[in-house]
Structure 1
Amino acid sequence: MILKRLSPGFAICKLPADAKLPDWSTQASLFFIARTDDELSIICPQSEVPAEIEASRDWICFRVDGDLDFEEIGVVARVSAPIADAGISLFLVSTHDRDYVLVHADNVTQAIDIYRDNGFTILNEDA
């Protein structure tokens, strides 16, 4: 499996459930938004996030690359299991065509080593 490291660092933001979607949240070429009864979650480059926003910053995003079928089973498990087994927290986001894994910058070197040890190819490692 191939993981491509994306840049820059990302933030995982939490806003009130009834908050209007802020303009800054959709300025980048890659962002994720989910609204629930409890919150409005936004994942985007941390450079876009105002300082006063509640957010966990310094997350490194990896995109699962390669020809994966939409119906393929076990992709999330293969990406998350070795990291979870090492006691490292991760955050996963999926779209129709791709899966994205976010690992905090404090753990990214260890995560890359673990992925390599488990047969993953890491592209753009130093992004």
Structure 2
Amino acid sequence: MPKPNLTKAEPTLGLRPIEGEYALSRVLPKHGVPDWANGPGLVSVTQGEDEISILCLGNRVPEQVEHSAGWTAVQVSNLFEVDEPGVVLAATRPVSEAGLGIFVVSTFLRDYILVRQDNLRLAKLAWLQAGHRVHLQKLTLRCADPDDCDQIADFHVRLWRQTYEGMAPEAAIQALGFDRRQPQWRTKLSGERSHALTILAEDDQGRIQGLCDLAKSENAEFPDAMELTNLYIDPAVRARGLGRHLLQLAQQWAQASGASELILAVVVQNESALSFYRACGGEPVAKSLDKGPLWRSENVIMRWPSGL
């Protein structure tokens, strides 16, 4: 998927999907605004000379009313002046360039982008690649850049050591520290990124709580695959769905990139990870030996076919 270019006039946005399935309905002006329009959630009513358009949660719309269902509302969480230039363009252009249909409604303080529920993951990826931030519960997702390499290396070392303590040789545990990881991440994040993606999940203090890194497969058995090279979740935020959410974005990225499948190498002793990936629809399809040299671990290749 090509990365959209932001102009200087376009601000960086925070985007927060709102729970619930929305519908856009049409009624005749002579009937007025119906009672079912009122209720929880986002409500927008616009009257023209030949129709009244109503946006609200779809479960309130009677079946006999003309409507388009299956929409997700995404709030632009930044507060801007009413006439702030570039806000709507910054929110809509990445999604439009990804080939998705959208529409916009606004209140005095905020703009809301409506995308099809089935397209929400693709829209999130488009926003992330455009430099925006996507809110997920109490965390924020964004794409990494070269300035993040120190913090990513710290996080990677800490989580890798926690995960593989007792599995990896002590020499590998000691050697794979910050001084080794940091140059790797700097090289990765400074290089050509058209076939690579690194997503960070941060708390409100800007601390990394999750890391998801993808690149074109280097596995000779799966040359047309996208590979999930790193997926780590801090213990403090596990069991909240973050790992599954990042994995779903990885699947969507593989599909949007035209890859045949998404693959991931998991150390055979890492039973909890293998159970998690199976629960997320992955299937073990091969075994491999890590290239080392510090740890020639035996790995299981997990696979997700392209297409969701």
TM normalised by structure 2 equals 0.39
Distance 1:95 1:68 in 2: 11
Is this contact kept in 2: 1:62–1:101, CA < 8 A?
yes
Does 2:103 match 1:102? no
SS at match of 2:63: coil
**Structure 2 vs 1, CA of residues 107 and 29 (structure 1 numbering), >3 Å: closer, same or farther?**
closer
**Structure 2 vs 1, CA of residues 18 and 124 (structure 1 numbering), >3 Å: closer, same or farther?**
farther
**Structure 2 vs 1, CA of residues 87 and 29 (structure 1 numbering), >3 Å: closer, same or farther?**
closer
Which of 66, 76, 79 aligns to 1:67? It is 79
Which one has more relative contact order, counting CA pairs under 8 Å at least 6 apart?
A: 1
Q: Which has the larger radius of gyration?
A: 2
Alignment of 1:1-127 (within 5 A): 1-124=13-136
Please, what is the CA RMSD of the aligned residues? 1.5
Which structure carries more strand by proportion? 1
SS at match of 1:52: coil
SS at match of 1:83: helix
Is this contact kept in 1: 2:78–2:110, CA < 8 A?
no
Q: How far 1:108 moved relative to its partner?
A: 1.1
TM normalised by structure 1 equals 0.92
Identity of aligned residues (%): 29
SS at match of 2:20: strand
Which structure carries more helix by proportion? 2
Paired residues, number: 126
Distance 1:124 1:89 in 2: 22
Structure 2 segments unaligned to the other structure (5+ residues) = 1-12, 138-244, 246-308
Is this contact kept in 2: 1:19–1:40, CA < 8 A?
no
SS at match of 1:7: coil
Is this contact kept in 1: 2:41–2:56, CA < 8 A?
no
Is this contact kept in 2: 1:12–1:44, CA < 8 A?
yes
Q: How far 1:112 moved relative to its partner?
A: 0.8
Is this contact kept in 2: 1:92–1:100, CA < 8 A?
yes
Is this contact kept in 2: 1:6–1:124, CA < 8 A?
no
SS at match of 2:100: coil
Q: Which 4+ residue blocks in structure 1 deviate beyond 6 angstroms?
A: none
